[in-house]
Structure 1
Amino acid sequence: MTDIVDELRWRGVLAQTTDEEALRKALADGPLTLYCGFDPTAKSLHVGHLTQILALRRFQLAGHRPIALVGGATGLIGDPKPSAERVLNDVETVQAWVNALRGQLAAFLDFDTPGPTQAVMADNYEWTQGLSALALLRDIGKHFSVNQMLARDTVRTRLDGEGMSYTEFSYVILQSLDFLELYRSHGCTLQIGGSDQWGNITAGLDLIRRVAGNQPHGPAHALTQNLLTKADGTKFGKTEGGAVWLDPELTTPYAFYQFWLNADDRDIPRYLRTFSFKSREEIEELEQATAERPQARAGQRALAEELTTLVHGAGQCAAVIAASRALFGQGELAELDEQTLTAALSELPVAQVTELAPIADLLALVDLVPSKSAARRTIKEGGAYLNNTKVESEDAVPTAGDLIHGRWLVLRRGKRNLGAVQLA
């Protein structure tokens, strides 16, 4: 076992723990069982969840047993947002999302190798669906102080604004019940989460102390991790197109790779420490390379390759790297499979046409130049490319044979400016 607390602190993600000395002892005496919960509020997890998912993975690699809990019950309620009430989804939708998230989480942890570190998948719907309102109020609710619940930051914010329903106000009770149930059934003594979950997690600790007074599995602990923000002040995990999802149907492997490749140089040291499984020496070398030669984007490339392989597999990663190279003239576009090419081109300015037009017209159509006359000047000066081949004539017109997979043309102005034309 390695000292996982020191590792998390070096990586800059450790926010708070309850009793660090006691937690270190429990980890040293391990293997310790811990859990993290993921509510199904959409059909996929996104990159914002990776901080907690990979923390579970680090604990497992350090010799501990992780439980990945997908909240089939809490997902029906929703952790209160500071801004407004959540929209409640129906049971069938939430259950479909539960199944999708379970499949995604299975790719990050070892659920198959028998032994003390074998991961466990859990769903809190299993122990709440048969729980009566009377039992919840008598057996669980009586241990919660309304004064403490009202003091929580999210509750105070909402009560100062539009208010909060009793449904969302009660969310903390359900999450606390999760910790108690996993403590009883699996000997789980540690819950981890984002720093915004501190109140929910410590409420679970208090419930365990009150209900399981003799604490047969020893004292329970809490550990939270810092929430990531971008150096430019925008929300981590967001792009112009929205969230960066782990589901390839929502965010293609190509777009996923490009998200990390395009990361701000200022963010790379934190991203490497938070997400990479490379050694400390390798990470520090990449940090130095990024600082000294930012144009090489060594840190971004290493992170993009590692995480795309982890989330989508080595084959998909190789395909998107090949696509990235081919788009800029370092590979054959025609050799890319249609799915990968389409995903790559969807990230570019795309114009749809019903018939082929002169290349000068197409350059203007995809806004690579401001006008057709500017397009003709670009061609004359040798700066226009069709499918990575320099366009020699100002009057050149692509033919059906130029269409990649029968429908795509890739246009480039200079070295870096790209656009695509799709024949409808």
Structure 2
Amino acid sequence: RAPAVRPPRPRTPARSRADPADLADPADPAPARPSPPAPRLTRPANHDAGEGSPATPNMAYMTHALLDELSWRGLIHDSTDPAELRDHLDSGGRRCYIGFDPTAPSLTIGNLLPITLLIRAARAGIGAVTLFGGGTGLIGDPSGKSAERTLLTVEDVRANVARHREIMETIFGRVLAADQIPAFVDNGDWLGGLGLIEFLRDVGKHFPVTEMIRRDSVRRRLDDPDIGLTYTEFSYSLLQAYDYRRLCEDHGVTLQMGASDQWGNIVAGIDYVRRVLRTQVHGLTCPLLLRADGTKFGKSEKGAVWLTADRTSPYTLYQFLINLSDDEARRFALFFSLTDREPLERLFAEHAETPGRRALQRHLAREMTALMHGQPAVDAAEAASAALFSGDVKAIGADLLSDVFADVPTVTEPLARLAADGGWPVVDLLLATGLASSRRDAREHLGNRAVLVNGDRIDAEATVTEKDLLHGSVILIRRGRREWRVARFT
């Protein structure tokens, strides 16, 4: 169970439905305390005003432990003024947050990057808050999307929030002390009771439309006549800004972090909090996790790598990481590995000397699989990999067998074939599975001792019977070193 957040500071109770006569006029004079200066944003001169565009912050002043760590790993894409952020964090007692919208029942490897940001912050002594979008998840963030999101039901969003919390509690519990685990907050608790008139006057009043439509995510959608942008998604950034205000008021949060496609929303929230609360807050984004083709590792993208075993098995995750290219493995290690800098740099040097050993990929596969699924899952994945490499497939358990051979061509045959007198000739098995084009071809492969059934090398006269079934239903055939087939009998 996550530790309770510190008691909220006194604030005016929210009004579910306000009488217009009771609402303060936004034009009324502000309190005597002066508003702090607008945050200075770290961007090169040619930086696009929109979110998600490349930036190289000047990290010379970022000496706080967290900022040093993020800078070395290349995890700072944009930030508010580095010197001010350093001083702010060095003053102690600070809290940060990252928001997660529950748009799917699980989370992807792309979501793991902000999750590890929270872990790094907690380890650096910064109080971390995980914000679930029980309210904003009903709307959907247009950032980085080329089409309107499908609206989820309230029941689906609540179920997704519960599942996301379970995933994060498990991950945090594996690597953080009990007093470091981030607090969990749901913005549905306040957005659900926010009246329309109150929202338009207290929030909407502070957001000029001319500034909102300059953002990349909005401009791209408005420029496409076939897609466009509804008011529902257009107003999303206002809700995210209001979240920052509530977290600042109720939980003392003064740093919002997120992926680079959130930069526009984060800046809008910083400005809104500064205007309304007369206090300075900060923002920081990390790069997006992109594939080689430039697409995101998102929940709606094809081929997503999920954090739960029901969608991406531990073995599949392990193999995905083992098979990363050297460049990808280095980037993933910097982004995701919780290994300290010195041992990680030694690992980089070792890998550079003998890349064929794939030491970096193996370290990454072990660490990340353990983080998401636990050490027993790592042990099982490595045992299955070793069995597959050696050909001793009988050692692979029933639960893991389907994962290991998930992408292998499979044929289904009647069990009666194995019950025939003397069994089913392996020549016919090779024809049925497509490992031979003719009986002559099959006999040639068998004569060359190139065929293995369940890891055993066989000859042209061999047959298979019910005794050869693995786990009561499967026979595995390999021709040569790499050509596998699965024959399933029912």
Question: Judging changes above 3 Å, is the alpha-carbon distance between structure 1 residues 239 and 176 closer, same or farther for their aligned structure 2 residues?
Answer: closer
Task: Render the CA deviation track for 1:329-359: whole Å, top value 9, x for unaligned.
Answer: 26x5344332112222223222222234433
1:65 aligned residue (109, 120, 127): 127
Distance 1:48 1:296 in 2: 27
Question: Alpha-carbon deviation of 1:295?
Answer: 3.1
Distance 2:467 2:300 in 1: 35
Question: Judging changes above 3 Å, is the alpha-carbon distance between structure 1 residues 386 and 319 closer, same or farther for their aligned structure 2 residues?
Answer: same
Match of 1:421 in 2: 487
Helix, strand or coil: the match of 1:248? coil
Between structure 1 and structure 2, the one with the greater Rg is 2
1:398 aligns with 2:464: yes
Distance 1:350 1:106 in 2: 38
1:282 aligns with 2:343: yes
2:205 aligned residue (139, 142, 148): 142
Match of 1:12 in 2: 74
Q: Equivalent residues in 2 for 1:246-265 (5 A)?
A: 246-265=307-326
Match of 2:355 in 1: 294
Question: Judging changes above 3 Å, is the alpha-carbon distance between structure 1 residues 235 and 69 closer, same or farther for their aligned structure 2 residues?
Answer: closer
Helix, strand or coil: the match of 1:30? coil
Question: Judging changes above 3 Å, is the alpha-carbon distance between structure 1 residues 278 and 126 closer, same or farther for their aligned structure 2 residues?
Answer: same
Question: Alpha-carbon deviation of 1:265?
Answer: 2.3
Question: Alpha-carbon deviation of 1:233?
Answer: 4.8
Question: Judging changes above 3 Å, is the alpha-carbon distance between structure 1 residues 79 and 234 closer, same or farther for their aligned structure 2 residues?
Answer: closer
1:306 aligns with 2:367: yes
Match of 1:342 in 2: 402
Larger RCO, structures 1/2 (Cα 8 Å, 6+ apart): 2
**Does the 8 Å contact 1:44/1:101 carry over to 2?**
yes
Q: Equivalent residues in 2 for 1:39-78 (5 A)?
A: 39-78=101-140
Match of 1:211 in 2: 276
Question: Alpha-carbon deviation of 1:239?
Answer: 12
Q: Equivalent residues in 2 for 1:47-126 (5 A)?
A: 47-80=109-142, 81-110=144-173, 115=179, 117-126=180-189
2:406 counterpart letter in structure 1: S
Match of 2:6 in 1: none
Question: Alpha-carbon deviation of 1:232?
Answer: 5.5
TM-score by length of 1: 0.92
- Where structure 2 has 5 or more consecutive residues not aligned to the other structure, the ranges are 1-62, 419-423
- Where structure 1 has 5 or more consecutive residues not aligned to the other structure, the ranges are none
Distance 1:108 1:292 in 2: 33
| Alpha-carbon RMSD | 2.4
**Does the 8 Å contact 2:110/2:296 carry over to 1?**
no
2:186 counterpart letter in structure 1: D
1:48 counterpart letter in structure 2: G
Match of 2:267 in 1: 202
1:342 counterpart letter in structure 2: S
Question: Alpha-carbon deviation of 1:158?
Answer: 0.7
Question: Judging changes above 3 Å, is the alpha-carbon distance between structure 1 residues 183 and 340 closer, same or farther for their aligned structure 2 residues?
Answer: same
Question: Judging changes above 3 Å, is the alpha-carbon distance between structure 1 residues 22 and 87 closer, same or farther for their aligned structure 2 residues?
Answer: same
Distance 2:442 2:203 in 1: 71
TM-score by length of 2: 0.80
Question: Alpha-carbon deviation of 1:174?
Answer: 0.7
1:193 aligns with 2:258: yes
Task: Render the CA deviation track for 1:220-276: whole Å, top value 9, x for unaligned.
Answer: 110100112234556547999721111211111111111111212221111111111
Distance 1:191 1:220 in 2: 8
Helix, strand or coil: the match of 2:146? coil
Question: Judging changes above 3 Å, is the alpha-carbon distance between structure 1 residues 358 and 306 closer, same or farther for their aligned structure 2 residues?
Answer: farther
Helix, strand or coil: the match of 2:310? coil
Question: Judging changes above 3 Å, is the alpha-carbon distance between structure 1 residues 146 and 240 closer, same or farther for their aligned structure 2 residues?
Answer: closer
